[in-house]
Structure 1
Amino acid sequence: MNFNKIYIFLFFTFTLVINTLNCQEKKLTSSTLSKALLLKFKQPDSAAFYFEKGYKQNLIKKDTLSAINFLIQLSELYAHSVNYGKSYDGYWEALLLAEKSNDLFSTASIYQGLGWLYSFYKRNDEALKYFNHSISIRKNLLKEDKSETNYSYLQSDYFAVLNLYRTNSNYIIAKKYLDSCYQIKEINYPDSESFYLVPEEAFLDATKGNFKKALSKLNSSELYFKENNPSYLVIINALLGKVYRLKNDKKQSIFHFKKSLQISKESKTHINYRIIAYEALSEIYFEQQNLKEAYKYLKLTKQRNEEIFGGQSENNKHLLEIKDKYRIEKDKQNDLINQKHIAQLEHEEKTSFLQTVILTVFLIFLILYAYIWGKHIRNRHKLEKKILREKQKLRTQKQNEILELKNKELTESALRLIEKDEFISSIKKKISNQKENIDINVIKRMLKSIQGTPNSNWKEFEARFTAINQSFYNKLKTEYPQLSQTDQKICALVKLNFPSKDMAKLLGISVESVHTSRYRLRKKLNLDRADNLEEFINKI
């Protein structure tokens, strides 16, 4: 008993320790990520340290998804700091991990990041290829999960393509991708303003000459980003500079390009926009014949371009070298997979051949067995049906013969009744002619005792008829409830092929009355002149 208590105590203690350690690890990961994000735009180097630390910690814990997330964040930070070489390496390393763990969500984000990198180098076809890879994955994920997150990331892909076409002055296609962004926005947040799309829309308005509309949108966006994301003012002011330049307001254009430079230096973000600002300022000053300032910014443009994209640049070395870790690792994996695949195919080929032989023999046997069994079943069913038909035929024939015989007997009985009545009538007639020698009253009483009334004759006939033809009256009453008793009597006598004269005698009415009854009966049965009453009655 004490041993069980100790065991339970140790079990709960161990569980508590494990849960505590797990919680501490989660808090540690969350704390590292929070620190990195907080320092991202203030102290990029410190933020990079924490992103890398979080990446390594999660690799040790074998939390691949978290490790990939840290690596993507680190690569994005390097891209903002124009350290494209490290950003490039980070994205490919993350892609290797994402593909190993089949993490499609992260794979799409990595493809988008690579697309941005190639767009910075003006390698537009490569950039568009990776953006489209990301879009394709996002669309497939949306088929399974139509969540706000998936829609938002698809919108960010469209935004990236929009930016690519806009910076390359292809405003028609840029407008199409802007419309796609707004369509997703209407699905996700129909009642809210999308301040990241508004600046792009404003610039496209400016390219059409709608400067007032464009500036209004950009100014409202500037107020929003001052409160919510000050670093994005680098882009807003760069766009304002471009719009004022299109408007030919050089003074305001210079002001906003310089403001974009100032914010970029203070926030240490969007450093690639400095080249855009330097180049624009150089061109504007040249147009104003301010050659000193034009040369100054031209020199800064060249210097910055050389630092980032020059032949001696670390960034350029990374993108020009094909021997990156991802591709080498991918080639090794592909070789290993191909070798295994070849061996597997050879084994499968042998196994498949053997299986095919066995399956073929089995199928032939099965088909043969099914054919023989089916033929046996069909023959048995045919024989059973034939026997049943013969039995049914004999049964029906016998019933018809019995019915015919009984109907004949019934007819003969009815005729005897008629003959009896005729005989008695003739006796009456003879007696009436010899009234003097015979006691007429005595004779009449005797005749009355043996003579039946028409009603009693009919009852006797009906009783016999019903006994033989049990279902006839039932069907007649069910199908034609409007028929009277006289109509039913006529039907019964017609079924036995009685002539009108015999009907009259049996029913105790005149022949004319029989004809009248037959005529009324035809009307009630809805028969035409061409219809045969006898045939119709016999079908019932």
Structure 2
Amino acid sequence: MKKYVLFFLVFTAFVFGQKTDSLVSKIIANQSLMKSDMEKGFQELLTLEKKAKQSKNYNAELEVLNNKAFYYFTKADYNKAYQIAQRLEKEAVSSKNKRLEAIAMNRLGITLNFLEMYEDAEKKLLSAQNFILSNDFHDKNLILANNYQFLSDLYTHTEKFDKAINYIKKTIPEYDKIKNPIEKKNQKSKGFSNIGLQYLSIDLDSAAFYFQKSLNLQEKIQVKNYNVGNYVGLGEVYNRKGQYNKSIEFLKKAEELNNQVQDSYYMTSIYDLLQDSYKKIGNEKEHNKYKLLFLENLQEENIEKLNGVNTIAKEAKKVSEIAENENKSKTKVAVFSFLIALLSVGFLFYFIRNFKRKKLEKEEIQRTLVQKEKELVNLEGKVSDLLDEVISLAKSNNANFYSRFLDLYPDFEKKLLEINPKMTNSELQFCALLKLNFSSKEIANYTFISVRTAQNKKYRVRSKLNIPNELDTYVFFNNL
């Protein structure tokens, strides 16, 4: 399943009709406008933000943060999206706004999921689930359904499909609790679309059934992310079934809708599937057109993803440095107290006599450590240079890639063949790419195959190596 198709459907679901003051209501309604016309909606949001600040309406300012996090995520600016969601969570906790605190936790979880920081994403989303279940606030059932959806997406990304299906099916009972019949129909339509997306990885016919069920539930197809997802999903179903003209028909509908929704990740998926379908029917002109658009979108997506990961890494380093400084301070206090205790019980001379000896020992140890560190730096430098060379060869699809990879990991092939002696050379080279932690999209890009082909190869490799369902592919190869 294409990751850029999965996670984004429900990120847009935080629009709730609660009874609030008029300014807050306008800001909540503003997110619906952004879904149909992103830039027009954002300009309106900036105007509403000024009014909120001028009137010192704190609740309205919190709702502005929620909408901004949505906007920047949609525009693939992960730095801003993540930081705003963090601020929203902090402010919501401070103001005891349980509803927005839950939404902020969800936003942070789905952002981490998209950045492929899966362990952190799972912790955040499971924490959000417990928080939602143990608190009461308006539209709790919708926020809980969104959290189930995000968990389902996470488990699909990590190929834990049983868990993914289990969580996605939990959303429909929550939508059934909605009293407003129009809103209930709208949310269930979204829910069926999401179920279809999860089934794409395991059962194409079931996926098509749920996509069509979502579309049939609507009297008029709305300009919504999940309807873009319905058409993209149907396009992928028929692409994988070899019915390429039918695939193109649905994908062009998705492209038309998404030009209004302005979801860059759906567009990446649409372009990828269109270039593949046009290639299969021999339309070289359209194939080249959409391949170029796909590569341009993919490049932008990867740049923003990297920026988001770097931001989170810097924050983690900052927290680590603060903790380290605190530990150093505590250590100094402890050492000082210990010396005072020694002096107080009459060990002053003993301490002085041994101090010189320990100082000499410490200096000798220090010299040894410096030498070892130099040797280690030299070794790491050589390994790092070879790793850089191997990665470069992989990205350029160079024929020397695998032989140099085995210079870096000499036992890699032996270990795989011990598990399954029937592994082919092509599969061993594919495993080498997984060992380097390349995603399916990256492998597809570097080896000039489709993302779906790369994902199918990954599935076959998992089967041949008997990798347990609960174990992530990359964790397996990292531990090999």
TM-score bracket, shorter-length normalisation: 0.5 to 0.7
Amino acid at match of 1:282: Q
Counterpart in the other structure of 1:88: 82
Q: Write the distance in 2 (CA, Å) between the matches of 1:225 and 1:82.
A: 29
Write the mapping of 1:126-145 to structure 2, written as runs, cut at 5 A.
126-141=120-135, 145=136
Of residues 110-119 and 177-186 in structure 1, the stretch that sits farther from structure 2 once superposed is: 177-186
Aligned to 2:249: 255
Match 1:276 to one of 269, 280, 287: 269
Cα distance 1:183–1:46, how it changes in 2: closer, same or farther (>3 A)?
Answer: closer
Matching of residue 175 in structure 1 with residue 158 in structure 2: no
Structure 2 residue 292 is the aligned partner of structure 1 residue 299: yes
Measured in 2, the distance between the counterparts of 1:160 and 1:63 equals: 31
Distance 1:332 1:128, change over 3 A: same
Is the 1:33–1:51 Cα contact (8 Å) retained in structure 2?
Answer: no
Q: For 1:92, what is the secondary structure of its paired residue? A: helix
- Counterpart Cα distance in 1 of 2:321 and 2:91: 15
TM-aligned CA deviation for residue 291 of structure 1: 5.2
CA separation in 1, counterparts of 2:25 and 2:322?
35
Aligned to 1:238, which of 227, 232, 237? 232
Partner letter of residue 165 of structure 1? Y
Given that residues 207 and 246 in structure 1 are in contact (C-alpha distance below 8 angstroms), is that contact kept between their aligned partners in structure 2?
no
1:101 equivalent in alignment to 2:91: no
CA distance in 2, matches of 1:285, 1:108: 43
Name the count of aligned residue pairs. 303
How many Å separate the matches in 1 of 2:107 and 2:47?
21
The structure 2 residue matched to 1:196, chosen from 176, 183, 190, is 190
Asked if the contact 1:206/1:243 (under 8 Å) is kept, the reply is yes
Secondary structure of the 1:230 match is coil
- Displacement of 1:203 in angstroms is 4.7
Q: CA deviation at 1:201?
A: 3.1
SS at match of 1:227: coil
CA offsets 1:295-331 (integer angstroms, 9 cap, x no match): 4333222211222322xx5x64354135989997999
Q: Does 1:50 align with 2:44?
A: yes
> 1:322–1:214: structure 2 CA closer, same or farther, 3 Å change rule?
closer
Distance 1:271-1:242 versus aligned 2 partners, 3 A rule: same
Q: Which amino acid aligns with 2:172?
A: Y
Asked if the contact 2:27/2:60 (under 8 Å) is kept, the reply is no
**Offset at residue 70 of structure 1 (A):** 1.4
Q: Per-residue CA shift, 1:76-110, capped at 9, x if unaligned?
A: 12222333333223212222312332333212211
Report the equivalent of 1:317.
307
The match for 2:65 is 71
Check 1:273–1:124 CA distance in 2 against 1; reply closer, same or farther (3 A cut).
farther
Could you tell me the TM-score, scaled by structure 1's length?
0.48
State the Cα distance separating 1:28 from its structure 2 match. Answer: 4.8
CA RMSD of aligned residues (A): 3.9
User: How far did residue 183 of structure 1 move?
Assistant: 4.0
What's the TM-score once normalised by structure 2's chain length? 0.53
2:340 alignment counterpart: none
Which structure 2 segments of 5+ residues have no match?
A: 1-19, 330-480
Q: Which runs of 5+ in 1 are unaligned?
A: 1-24, 340-540
Match of 2:148 among 152, 155, 158: 158
Using the alignment, how far apart are the partners of 2:164 and 2:119 within structure 1? 15
* Cα drift, residue 234 of structure 1: 0.9
Question: What is the letter of the counterpart of residue 273 of structure 1?
Answer: Y
Q: Secondary structure at the match of 2:35?
A: coil
1:248 aligns to what SS in structure 2? Answer: coil
Q: Taking CA–CA contacts closer than 8 Å with sequence separation of 6 or more, which of the two structures ends up with the larger relative contact order? A: 2
Q: How does 1:453-472 map to 2 (within 5 A)?
A: none
* Equivalence for 2:334: none
